Amino acid sequence: MIENIYLKSPLGRYGIVLKETSEFIGTIDLMNWSDGKEAEIGYITIKSFGEMV
């Protein structure tokens, strides 16, 4: 299972936490495109965090 997650996002999948409380609020992924010439950053946050902003 962990191997499948890595293969979908080989540059990394990371958790996002609030610095003040260490509360988990989402994930961020680094994705490689075009043979290493371009990259994309994607993120998603939990619904309750979006309501706080």
| Least-confidence region, from 18-22, 39-43, 49-53 | 49-53
Q: Can you tell me which residue has the tokens 């989402």?
A: 26
**From CA 8, how far away is CA 29, in angstroms rounded?**
10
pLDDT category, 40, cuts 50, 70, 90? confident
Mean of the per-residue pLDDT values of the chain: 76
**From CA 29, how far away is CA 6, in angstroms rounded?**
11
**2 or 50, higher pLDDT:** 50
**Can you give the pLDDT at residue 15?**
86
Mean pLDDT throughout 38-53? 76
Q: What is the pTM of this model?
A: 0.58
- Can you give the three-state secondary structure of 1-53, one letter per residue? CHHHHHHHCCCCEEEEECCCCCCEEEEEEEEEECCCCEEEEEEEECHHHHHHC
**The two structure tokens encoding residue 3:** 């191997």
